[in-house]
Amino acid sequence: MNIACLLFDNISETNGTTVRARRIIDILQKYNDITLIYCDEDNKHALYSLPGIKLIPVFHIGRRKRESAYFLIRILAYIRWSFNVFFILANKQWDVIFCAHDWFSFSALYFLSKIKGFKTVFDANTIMSEEGKELGFSWPRVKLEQINEMFVIKHADHVLACSKNIYDHFSHYAKHIDLVPTFIDTDVFKKPVASPRRKENGALMKVGMIGPFTSHVNNYSLDFVYTHLSEFDPRIHFVVIGECKQRIDSEYIQYTGYLASTNDYISQLSCLDAVLLPAIEATLGLCNKIIEPMACGIPVFTTPKGMVGLYWSEPGKDIFVYEANELVSKVNELIFDGERMRRAGENAQKVIEEYYSLRKYKELIIHIASNLVLAP
């Protein structure tokens, strides 16, 4: 099969959408001819490669344009991306197009599919209109997003929902839809550490904050720690993992900077005693910042908003969930309880192994692509 994957993002960057796209591409490339079409800024594509996959960068549509504060610049970036995708896809015969959470350009993709005869798979990483409500977007904007969502979900040949709430929201409209949550290769992520290290009561504890810190949602977590830093037990130090420009000078905070490889990232996770995600807004879908440390047996502290989409997790058993105004005191109280932290870490690993493991969804993804080609 000839499969094209559309990623309205830069594959060399690390965020929920790019990580999920890489994992799905990695599954498909073992059985198919894969071409990845993605955004690029200047010539940064030269810094990244995916062995065995043809890369087609669409130049000069970097993060600054996609996330510009100026609405017109964002719209122009979307339009330019859609035109480029249309002409790239029109010049070759494809069997399946995998669209990674690209709600905007799907209309052009759908109309081209009627001419070229390829099938479409849409990967829904969130519910855009519901996130818009969370972020306080205007009613007209939320309504337009709802209309666009319905068009995409109704016309995609197959939809992948990355969480149970997304599946429930769209299942009434999709032709075919499957729940494929944020999966992870548990064999890789559980190697460095089986459970949090047990320490003496006076030992230093390391709490991780997982980035990249390049958006309003992620930066809120940083602001939370910076604001409440003096309220945390002085035996607690923080490790800020990933790209971060909003730094402060403190003996209680260590910054890793951008991590170039999964191994480097897992090595950082293996040194942690806990992860803190004081989310104020629900992302509704991808939960990598929680699932990845849980896979390593690292207990996670978050808010009710932070665990939206984690359908199989149980607060107090495999994850610690408290309102934002309780987080500091609960971290101070629980992180030195070695037995409870150990149990939470072990339970977290069991949940990830049972419900979020790569092995559970690999065959399903291959089956979906194969069936689309065989379908009339």
More confident residue, 191 or 155: 155
Of these ranges, 126-130, 139-143, 178-182, 305-309, the one predicted with the greatest mean pLDDT is: 178-182
Q: Do the Cβ atoms of 358 and 185 come closer than 8 Å? A: yes
Nearest-angstrom CA–CA distance, 231 and 188: 35
Mean of all residue pLDDT scores within the chain: 88
Beta bridge partners of 37: 6, 56
Q: Do the Cβ atoms of 62 and 35 come closer than 8 Å? A: no
Beta bridge partners of 3: 34, 96
Distance separating the N- and C-terminal Cα atoms of the chain: 16
Give one word for 364, left, alpha or beta, with left for phi > 0 and alpha for psi -120 to 50.
alpha
Q: Do the Cβ atoms of 308 and 285 come closer than 8 Å? A: no
Which H or E run includes 25? helix 16-29
Q: What is the pLDDT of residue 42?
A: 57
Q: Range with the lowest mean pLDDT among 164-178, 197-211, 227-241, 320-334?
A: 197-211
Q: Range with the lowest mean pLDDT among 2-11, 167-176, 256-265?
A: 256-265
Q: What is the pLDDT of residue 260?
A: 78
pLDDT band at 35 (very low <50, low <70, confident <90, very high): very high
pLDDT at 194 exceeding the cut of 50: no
Q: Say what the pTM is.
A: 0.88
The torsion angle over the Cα atoms of residues 130, 136, 138 and 141, rounded to 10 degrees, is: -40
Q: Do the Cβ atoms of 94 and 115 come closer than 8 Å? A: no
Beta bridge partners of 239: 208, 254
Question: How large is the C-alpha radius of gyration of the chain?
Answer: 21
**Which percentage of the chain shows pLDDT scores above 70?**
92
Nearest-angstrom CA–CA distance, 26 and 253: 35
pLDDT band at 191 (very low <50, low <70, confident <90, very high): low
What average pLDDT does this structure show over 222-233?
A: 95
Distance of CA 212 to the CA centre of its chain: 11
pLDDT at 216 exceeding the cut of 70: no
Nearest-angstrom CA–CA distance, 107 and 115: 13
Please name which of 191, 217, 172, 186 lies closest in space to residue 361, comparing C-alpha atoms.
186
More confident residue, 183 or 67: 183
More confident residue, 54 or 194: 54
pLDDT band at 43 (very low <50, low <70, confident <90, very high): low
Residue 88's φ and ψ, nearest 5 degrees, are -65, -45
The tokens describing 170, both together, are 């769209």
Give one word for 257, left, alpha or beta, with left for phi > 0 and alpha for psi -120 to 50.
left
Structure letter (DSSP) for residue 198:
P
The domains found in the chain, sorted by start residue, are 2-183+358-374 (3.40.50.2000), 186-355 (3.40.50.2000)
pLDDT band at 46 (very low <50, low <70, confident <90, very high): very low
What average pLDDT does this structure show over 326-353?
A: 95
pLDDT, tens digit, for every residue of 243-280? 898 999 999 999 999 887 888 999 999 899 999 999 88
What average pLDDT does this structure show over 38-65?
A: 75
Q: What is the pLDDT of residue 10?
A: 87
Distance of CA 268 to the CA centre of its chain: 19
* Helix, strand, or coil (residue 152): helix
The tokens describing 179, both together, are 């729940």
Q: What is the pLDDT of residue 195?
A: 44
The tokens describing 82, both together, are 């859609």
Q: Range with the lowest mean pLDDT among 31-35, 84-88, 206-210?
A: 31-35
pLDDT band at 365 (very low <50, low <70, confident <90, very high): very high
